[in-house]
Structure 1
Amino acid sequence: MRAIQITEFGGPEVLNVTELPDPVAGEGQLLIDVSRAGINYADTHQAENSYLSPSTLPMVPGGEVVGTTADGRRVVALVGSGGYAEKALAPQALAWDVPDGIDDVTALSMVVQGATAWVLLRRSVHMEPGESVVVHAAAGGVGTLAVQLAKAWGAGRVIATASSKEKRELAVELGADVAIDANEPDMKSALITANGGKRVDIVLEMTGGTVTDDSLKALAPFGRLAFYGMASRKPPAPVQPANLMSHSTTIAGMWLAHVFQLPGDIMRQALGDLFALAADGNMRVINGGEYGLTEVRKAHEDMRARRTSGKLILDPSR
């Protein structure tokens, strides 16, 4: 089969098309003929071995696929690695049937990015109707869905940030009440101004660095910030517990992998909600572009340069 393989860690230049033996399913695994694979920002960290879980070489990157099993089921699945290929193995417990009417792009958008937005709002910050919600990187895969979920669940005001005029316009089109420049030099003041002069209740943050620092300073009493990524590759300043007390604020970290350690089938609940919203036309997935195997380097370059919006897709057939 054709696949992308990494034999040394680094940037987009280490992503190489190669021929590999077809994987063979073991006990508890499904072999999936991949129709599309998802391309996520986390994949850029995986390629350079800077992700939360260490990578090992050689490696086929890619953590999510949609395709067909040997018995004809159409499933979307989490594979950990191995997704950038014509065939992939997935644990049976991490594969979910795709409802009729849900296309490949929508299925892939929901399994990681949609579920991340769902868990952030439902479990990490426990959003209540009427609260203000800041969504950083609002034109990204998680951000576009988080904006829509916050609105659907009754947020009082959704404040988006994005790095270009086009991305800010997209965020507003998806339901944000206001969108501000992600490069604002004083993000704290910009967020408070965007919220009508009031501190904000909730921040969903995946940038890191000063964006995190300023967002914390903009939180209202009992405000919550959920941190789920570090796209800038710059860590925020250390947080002192006394500073949290000064405004009764909460910081939550979220990594989707930990959802599977919780009682109950959280992922099935999240995907059920998300697929229903999409099927009813109440959630729109942004197709950020489809790349063939030979174009994967460009996909990673585009993501790292902030040239993309929405969900990026890999077509392993080309």
Structure 2
Amino acid sequence: MRAIVVTRFGGPEVLELREMEMPVVGPNQILIKVAATSVNFADIKARYGNKGQKQPPFIPGLDVSGTIVQVGSDVREFEAGQRVIAFPSDGSYAQYVVADSILTYRLPDQIDLEMAAAIPIVSFTSYKLLTDIGRLIPGESVLIHAAAGGVGTTAIQLAKILGASQIIGTVSNDEKAETALRAGADHVINTAKDDFVTRVLEFTDGRGVNVILDSIAGQVTEQSLQCLALYGRLVHFGNSSGQVGNIQTKDLHSSCRSVLGFSLGTTRLHHPQLLRDTADKVLEYIENGSLNIVIGNKFSLEDASSAHELVENRRSKGKVLLIP
């Protein structure tokens, strides 16, 4: 089979298309013919050696959509020919992947296979951030940083589905602001032009927002506390800035505010069973049309380096897909 391999740590040029051996299916695993896979910022970090324990050569990628070719001897809930989404065991930039059955999910017939590849990482993450971690209550307000990206545009929609009264996004330029507004944000702040703390306080009559989703870290985290309401929850789930934010304990106890962390990767590794209900809810929303994953670009598998350049340079809007 063909696959993209990180040949050494470095820039997009280290991605190479190679012929690889077909993966071997274990007793509780499933072999999937890949229809599409998505490009995530975590793939960029892994390519540089800044995320995970993998050493080159390795196949990058986290999630796929496709059709089951073979099931392991102990798998009872799936069979060959079924359409699924999954988190593969050893990278997704390939024509075939193997995934554990507990991290594989049946795809409703109404959902297109290519669009389905954009579902797992962004929608599972967004749903967990807003429900289990952020504990969003209908009528509360939400601030979503990096609102034009895959998680951002998905979280905007899910926040609305879950009953948020006001959804504010931050972006880095006006073009991305249009993307976030189309996704359903009530207000979008271009941080290249405006101080987001000042604008959020204006939009909320000085109260601040109830839930903040922060994948940037550094100064953004520190400044976010300045516009977090009493009893508010700041959910930290990434550090795309590469910076470390410092939080003062005095900013928490008397205001009853919380700073919470979440990693979908850690949850997949240690508590994969917690994602089954998440998958059911997300797929229900997509099937009934209330949630639409925004797809910005599609690339062939052999053009993975161009896809990485787009994401790494923060020029992507919505999800970026690779099509084997």
Q: Does TM-score exceed 0.5, indicating one fold? A: yes
The amino acid that maps onto 1:307 is R
The answer for the alignment partner of 2:280 in structure 1 is 272
SS of the residue corresponding to residue 244 of structure 2 reads coil
SS of structure 1 residue aligned to 2:143: strand
1:193 maps onto 2:202 in alignment:
yes
What is the CA distance between 1:7 and its match in structure 2?
A: 2.3
2:94 matched to which residue of 1? 85
Distance 1:301 1:261 in 2: 28
Distance in 1 separating the partners of 2:205 and 2:115: 34
Q: Is the contact between residue 137 and residue 182 of structure 1 (CA under 8 Å) also seen in structure 2?
A: no
Counterpart position of 2:73:
none
Deviation track 1:143-162 (CA, whole Å, cap 9, x = no partner) reads 11110111111111100111
**Cα deviation code 1:118-140 (max 9, x no counterpart):** 00011111001111100111111
Contact 1:64–1:80 (CA<8 Å) still a contact in 2? no
Among 274, 285, 296, the alignment partner of 2:293 is: 285
Change (3 A) 1:94 1:234: same
Cα deviation, residue 66, structure 1: 1.1
Matches within 5 A, 1:10-159: 10-51=10-51, 53-70=52-69, 71-159=80-168
Alignment partner, residue 319 of structure 2: 311
* Paired residue type of 1:96: Y
Matched, 1:174 2:183: yes
Give the SS at the match of 2:298.
Answer: strand
CA distance in 1, matches of 2:271, 2:24: 31
Percent identity of paired positions between Structure 1 and Structure 2 = 36
After TM superposition, give the deviation of residue 243 of structure 1 in Å.
2.5
Q: Specify whether residues 198 and 105 from structure 1 end up closer, same or farther in structure 2 by C-alpha distance, changes over 3 A only.
A: farther
Q: Mean Cα displacement is larger for which, 91-100 or 185-194?
A: 185-194
Say what the alpha-carbon RMSD is for the aligned residues: 1.8
Q: 1:233-289 deviations in whole A, cap 9, x for unaligned? A: 2222x2232232243221111001343578794322212211221222211221111
**Please, what TM-score do these two structures have when normalized by structure 2?**
0.91
Equivalenced residue count is 314
What secondary structure sits across from 2:315 in the alignment? coil
CA contact (8 A) 1:187 1:211 kept: no
Aligned equivalent of 1:253: 261
Rounded to whole Å, the distance in 1 between the matches of 2:2 and 2:107 is: 25
Letter in 2 for 1:225: L
Query: Does residue 309 of structure 2 align to residue 301 of structure 1?
Result: yes
CA distance in 1, matches of 2:272, 2:104: 16
